[in-house]
Amino acid sequence: MNNQDKSNQIQSSWWRGLVEFLFPDKKFDGQLQNPGSEKLFDFDDVIEREHPIAIVREEIAYYPEGDDKKLFAVFIPGLGQRENESSKRSRRYAATLKTGVANLNNSSYLKENPMLGMINPYLDWLDAAIHRLGFSDSPAIENAAYLILNAIKDEEILNLSGDSHGTILLARAINRAKRYFIDNHAAIWDFKKRRIKEVMWEQRTKNLINVLVFGNGYRKWVKGPKYIMVSIDGDPLPRNFGMTPQRAIKQGRTDIKFIIFAALFPEGSFEAHNMMFTTELLRQTFLKNGMQVGDFNGLYEQLSKEMLKLVDPKKVRWPSDIEEYAWSQDSLSSITQLL
C-alpha cells in the first residue's frame, strides 16, 4: 500500500493542511495503524464507535503468527520513524514479546528528498524537546487520553507502551486523561469532590491501565496505572531526562517498577537506547523466570516481590536478524560473538 492510498484513509482537520503538505508523514500523526498490513484507521472514526478498545483489539491490532490473541498493546513509537519504519519495528516487537500491537503513530518530519537536507534530520529532535517542555501538543497525546477514558468507561484492560519520544507523549496523555476524568465529574472549585474523583481515578486505572515503556525520557508520571520502565544501562535518555529508581524513591513512587539490564555497549553508545535490543532481553528474562512471554501482570508481580532474575546481556544468544535493526554497525562488535 503506497502513501497516497494510506493518506486517503485519513480525514485531517483543515488547519493541518500546510504541515501535512510540507511533511507528508504528518498525515498519520495520532492515527491508529495495524503494523502488519500497515493499514491506517482514522482515530476519530474508531473512537466514535461503541467499545473502541474492543475494536482496536479485534480489528486493528497486529498479532504475530501463531499468537493466541490474548494480549495486545497500543504502542507510541519513538522519533525519526516514518510510519512504514515504525510498522517494521512494531512487527518485531510483537513477534519478540508474543503480543498484539496497534501503533498510535508518532509521525516524523523526515522526508525522502528534503530541500533542506542539513536541517531535516534535526526537526524531530527539536519537536521532542518542545514536547518534553510542554510547549507543544500532538494528536497522539489527545488520542491516547481518549483511549484511556474509554477503557475506564467500558472497564476494559488497556495495555499502553511507548519508546523514547513516545514515552513523553504517553506520559502527557495519561496526565491529560486524569485531568479530563476529574473535570468531567467535578467542578473546578469543588475541591472535596475533585479529591474523591482523584482517588477513584487511581483505583480504576490501577486495575485497568498497564504501562510498559522503553528508554523513558519523562519524569512526571501520574499515579494510578501500573508502570514498568525498561532500559539498558548506559541509555542516556532515562539517566538524564527520565524517571530512575533513585528519583522514584525520592518521590515515594513504589508503583513504578524498573528493569535495567547490565551494560551491553561501550560507554557513550546510543545503541543502548535501541528498543530492538531491549525487547529481546525482556523476552529472554520472561523465559529465564519460567513466565509466559508478554505476561505484564506476572512481570509486575515478580518485580513487586523483588524476585525477577534478569538475563546477562553478554550471555544472551542474539537472533541473527538483530543486525537489521542496529543503528550503528560499530555497535554490533559488542555482540558479534553472540549472534
pLDDT of 5: 58
Cell of residue 242, nine digits: 527520565
Quote the pLDDT of residue 309: 97
Q: Taking a C-beta distance cutoff of 8 angstroms, is the pair 50, 156 a contact?
A: no
Tens of pLDDT, residue by residue over 77-113, are 998 888 889 999 999 999 999 999 999 999 887 877 7
Is the separation of the CB atoms in 83 and 28 below 8 Å? yes
Distances (CA, A) of 50 to 28, 46, 83, 274: 23, 9, 27, 37
Cα gap 221→312, rounded to integer Å: 29
Q: Is the pLDDT of residue 32 over 60?
A: yes
Per the structure block, which three cell numbers stand in for 95? 513477534
Q: State residue 123's pLDDT score.
A: 81
For residues 313, 314, 320, 321, the Cα torsion angle rounded to the nearest 10 degrees is 40
* pLDDT tens-digit readout, 273-301: 999 999 999 999 999 999 999 999 999 99
Closest by CA to 170, choosing from 123, 124, 222, is 222
The second-level CATH assignment, the architecture, of 3-266 is 3-Layer(aba) Sandwich (3.40)
**What is the domain partition of the chain in residue ranges?**
3-266
Q: Could you read off the pLDDT of 116-166 as tens digits, one per residue?
A: 667 887 787 788 888 888 877 899 999 999 999 999 999 999 999 999 999
Express as a percent the part of the chain with pLDDT over 90.
Answer: 68
Helices (H), 184-295: 191-208, 236-241, 245-250, 275-288
Q: How many whole angstroms from its chain centre is CA 157?
A: 16
Mean of per-residue pLDDT scores for the chain: 90
Strand partners, 32: 41, 104
